[in-house]
């Protein structure tokens, strides 16, 4: 019989930018793409030939967090528009153990955005970073039983 831990995953994640760990509430666009070209060859071929093209546009990663006055928030001010980020590590954790690890190199902050300031709302001020990058790599981890 399956336990509740097997049925209801309790995932969390850690994000480090250039070796500095930050607490983000949301990571979106965690993906990589490749550009292709299809060629239809003459004769009796039933399918097109798919060729990989050189990548012309970057992938975009979006990191979002609530702002708070702390030393970590002061460090976030380093990542302004145009800033290069040499290494981004994203560790996906389940019950405190790393189950997935993603690595991104060659990132550039292309957009920094804050949530609307509304005096009639009592919401948290959110900050998001949009980072252009050249690709996402998933680091293989040993399989645990």
Domain ranges of the chain: 4-139
What is the DSSP code (8-state) at residue 74?
H
CATH code given to domain 4-139:
2.30.110.20
pLDDT of residue 7: 56
- Give which of 65, 36, 34 is closest to 49, Cα–Cα: 36
- Per-residue pLDDT at 17: 93
3-state secondary structure of 133: strand
Band of pLDDT at residue 130, cut at 50, 70 and 90:
very high
pLDDT classification of 44: cutoffs 50, 70, 90:
low
Average pLDDT, the chain: 84
For residue 2, the model assigns a pLDDT of 53
More confident residue, 45 or 13: 13
Provide the percentage of residues in the chain whose pLDDT is more than 70.
86
DSSP 8-state code for residue 36: E
Q: Are 94 and 7 in contact (CB under 8 A)?
A: no
Average pLDDT over residues 15-22: 91
- Please name which of 79, 100, 76 lies closest in space to residue 14, comparing C-alpha atoms: 100
Specify which of 4-8, 80-84, 119-123 reaches the highest per-range mean pLDDT. 80-84
Report the pLDDT value the prediction gives residue 116, as an integer from 0 to 100. 85
CA distance 65 to 60: 17
Residue-level pLDDT at 4? 55
pLDDT score recorded for residue 106: 86
The three-state secondary structure class of 4 is helix
Tens of pLDDT, residues 60-91: 999 998 877 677 677 888 889 999 999 999 99
């Amino acid at each position: 019989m399956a336990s509740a831990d097997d049925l209801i995953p309790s995932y969390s994640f850690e994000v480090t930018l250039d070796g500095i760990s930050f607490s983000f509430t949301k990571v979106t666009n965690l993906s990589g793409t490749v550009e292709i070209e299809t060629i239809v060859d003459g004769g009796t071929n039933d399918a097109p030939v798919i060729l990989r093209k050189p990548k012309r546009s970057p992938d975009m990663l979006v990191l979002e967090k609530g702002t708070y006055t702390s030393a970590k928030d002061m460090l976030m001010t380093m990542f302004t528009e145009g800033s290069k980020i040499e290494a981004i590590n994203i560790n996906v954790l389940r019950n405190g153990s790393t189950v997935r690890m993603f690595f991104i190199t060659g990132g550039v902050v292309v957009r920094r955005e804050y949530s609307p300031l509304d005096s009639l709302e009592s919401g948290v001020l959110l900050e998001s970073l949009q980072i252009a990058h050249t690709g996402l790599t998933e680091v293989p981890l040993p399989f645990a039983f």
